[in-house]
A and B are shown apart, each in its own frame.
Chain A
Amino acid sequence: MKRKAGSFIVLALVAVIAGCSSKGDVKEGDVAIEDRGTEADGGAVASGAAGTTDYAGYSLNDPNSPLSRRVIYFEYDSAEISDMDQELLVTHAGYLVANPGTHITLEGNTDERGSREYNIALGDRRALSVQRILELNGVSPDQITIVSYGEEKPAAEGHSDAAWRLNRRVELVY
């Protein structure tokens, strides 16, 4: 029970941080926030989290910082990360290395095509790809949690190529 309470506080932090940084975010950022910590509102712990920010001039809650980009997109049935996204992940890794007390959850997602449990596995594979790059750049495995939602939490509703493209993603949730 004690451990549960601990992880709950982390979730509460995440929700508060997300709340701070959401306004004026890019579209995918807004959608991501909808998925987060609906039950969490632990305002009391917010200031502690917001204090641990700056890395090389980047702040976690600055909408203009590259760290505000927290969604990596994928091709169909693929877990490959583009060069541009690799660069972005290096920036995130830098932040996480500079702030070893910060924790990140990588949420793997897929589009709706194919069977649901296979998509859970595919979302997991995508999250693992992101994890690998973060770890190769010095992030401690203890800072990272992976969860795959498969096709269960679409960022975009709908059954078009456009919706599917937005749904094949890994969300970086601080």
Chain B
Amino acid sequence: MTRIVKLLLLLCVLIATPVRAALTIEITQGIEGAIPIAVVPLGWRGKSPAAPENIAAIITADLNRSGRFEALPDRDLVSHPTSAEQVKFQNWRMLNVDNLVIGQLDETGDGQYTVRFELFDVFRGKRLAGSSFPTSARDLRRVAHHISDIIYETLTGERGAFNTQIAYVTSNGIGKNKTYTLLVADSDGYNPQTILTSKQPLMSPSWSADARQIAYVSFENKTAEIYIQDVATGSRRKLASFKGINGAPSWSPDGRQLALTLSRDGNPEIYVMNIGNGELRRLTNSPSIDTEPVWTPDGKSIVFTSDRGGSAQIYRIPARGGQAQRLTFEGNYNAGADISPDGRKLAMVHGQGGGYQIAVQDLQSGQLRVLTDGQLDESPSFSPNGSMIIYATGAGNREVLSAVSVDGRFRQRLSLQAGNVREPVWSPFGK
């Protein structure tokens, strides 16, 4: 009895411990036709000789990481203007950059700063965007990502997804010394924060639509259970602990329901739980495996994996119940689906004899395209603007995260210094 209390205390201590290891990002496959842009280091006025954060470097990395931009290397910058009147457009035209970003970082008080930026169209000599943000030291990176979002949206017409987060699971050690950790990091891999550590497996994180909570599976009691946890406070609640499988939680777009897999009636079936009152509604009824539910963005349907046809394939069923319809026909294994934020594309783990890759299927045309070339790629998750897919892949003897653009042209790797990283899920934009 006291031992159980001790274990619970230990678990509480382990929740919300920061880790030092940061994700690093390495672009593994670039694209042609990226927009050339110059981001000039921001001017700095403050007590210390150096700025507390290199805002321009963060913006440059964001833009490069999107695959849509190619930032001019620092050494090629011809001058370092920090205000509009210092900009000589003809110099930048000669460098063939289409766009120019400049700005200023000022220390305004104790730990308080103001970040100002301006974006120019170099060829027309025109200011396209600009803003000033008061902020604390802690939020400087966030402000930089916000500026990246503004630049991205101004120049591509699409919403940027830099100011979002990813959740993922790591495992370290082997055998009985294995430790499983659930983390949340900024979308560029910085600022990783542990939200749960356990000696037993942690699995299947799923964000709430407001990006404030995460549902996941924990085996901490030597059986699968589903919890929901507030990301900021760490407080959590056990939601499902039935006999057998409690797995694959997926938050509904309205935030009130959770789709999940339970095997309490004999074999794995898809259920929908009302999070408020715990009420369950069973959606599937087949003697086969039914699992991995995900909601379509309109909340009307649920897409899931089933081997009712003899092998694992993706199906769709109305969220209110009804007939399941098969969606995938290419390949002998399709599982672990995610749906793009516009509801038009399906990403999945695709097996076709030669290993498992990430594929995207256009739901209207049915056309399937394999995006990756790993042997054991899994857990695809769309960025909230639909432009990228983050997934888990093998690198040597380790599991790492990679991201690929939805058109397959641009790929990058995110890697921790040690251990295995997997099950990435990109947060929604949040509120």
Interface residues of A (CB under 8 A from B): 1, 4-5, 8, 11, 31, 34-36, 38-39, 77, 112-118, 120-122, 124-125, 128, 146-150, 152-153, 157-159
Contact = CB atoms under 8 A, between A and B. Distances in A.
Contact of B336 (A117, A128, A146): A117
Given A8-B4, A147-B224, A117 B312 contact: no
Interface stretch (B30-38, B66-74, B189-197, B260-268): B260-268
B356 A117 contact: no
Contact of B4 (A4, A113, A152): A4
Most buried by B among A118, A128, A148: A118
Contact of B203 (A4, A124, A152): A152
Given A125-B289, A147-B223, A152-B219, A117 B248 contact: yes
Contacts of A112: 376
B199 A35 contact: no
A79 to B, nearest CB: 10
A116 B219 contact: no
B400 to A, nearest CB: 13
Majority-rule SS of B interface residues: mixed
Nearest to B201: A152
Pick the 9 closest A-B CB pairs, nearest first: A115-B336, A152-B201, A34-B175, A115-B335, A121-B289, A117-B248, A121-B268, A34-B176, A118-B335
A76 to B, nearest CB: 11
Contacts of A118: 289, 291-292, 305, 312, 335-336
A87 to B, nearest CB: 26
Most buried by A among B245, B261, B335, B375: B245
A117 B263 CA distance: 12
A142 to B, nearest CB: 12
Contacts of A77: 311
B247 interface: yes
Nearest to B394: A159
A23 to B, nearest CB: 16
B397 interface: yes
Most buried by A among B175, B201, B379: B175
A124 B4 contact: no
B378 interface: yes
B349 interface: yes
Nearest to B335: A115
Contact of A39 (B7, B204, B224, B244): B7
Nearest to A127: B244
B428 interface: no
Contacts of A114: 312, 333, 335-336, 349, 351, 356, 378
B431 interface: no
Q: Place the interface of chain B in its size category.
A: 35 or more
Contact of A122 (B175, B289, B376): B289
25 contacts: A8-B4, A35-B175, A35-B176, A36-B176, A112-B376, A114-B349, A115-B292, A115-B335, A115-B336, A115-B349, A116-B336, A116-B379, A117-B291, A118-B289, A118-B291, A120-B203, A120-B261, A121-B263, A121-B291, A128-B267, A147-B219, A148-B224, A149-B219, A157-B397, A159-B397
A113 B394 CA distance: 11
Interface in B185-238: 199, 201, 203-204, 219, 221-224
A5 B7 CA distance: 13
Nearest to B171: A152
A116 B378 contact: yes
B1 A5 contact: yes
B423 interface: yes
Given A39-B7, A117-B336, A159-B394, A124 B219 contact: no
Interface string B277-296: 00000000000010110000
A115 B3 contact: no
B50 interface: no
Contacts of B397: 157-159
Contact of B247 (A5, A31, A117): A117
Nearest to A36: B176
Most buried by B among A113, A116, A146: A116
A158 B376 CA distance: 12
Nearest to B204: A117
B174 interface: yes
Contacts of A150: 203
A117 B261 contact: yes
Contacts of A31: 175
Interface string B1-14: 10110010000000
Given A118-B292, A147-B222, A39 B336 contact: no
Contacts of B379: 115-116
A38 B204 contact: no
Interface string B175-186: 110101000000
A36 B222 CA distance: 9
Contact of A120 (B180, B199, B291, B376): B291
Given A150-B203, A159-B376, 13 more contacts: A4-B221, A5-B1, A11-B222, A34-B176, A38-B199, A114-B378, A115-B349, A116-B422, A117-B248, A118-B305, A120-B247, A124-B267, A157-B397
B372 to A, nearest CB: 14
Nearest to B292: A117
B248 to A, nearest CB: 4
B224 A120 contact: yes
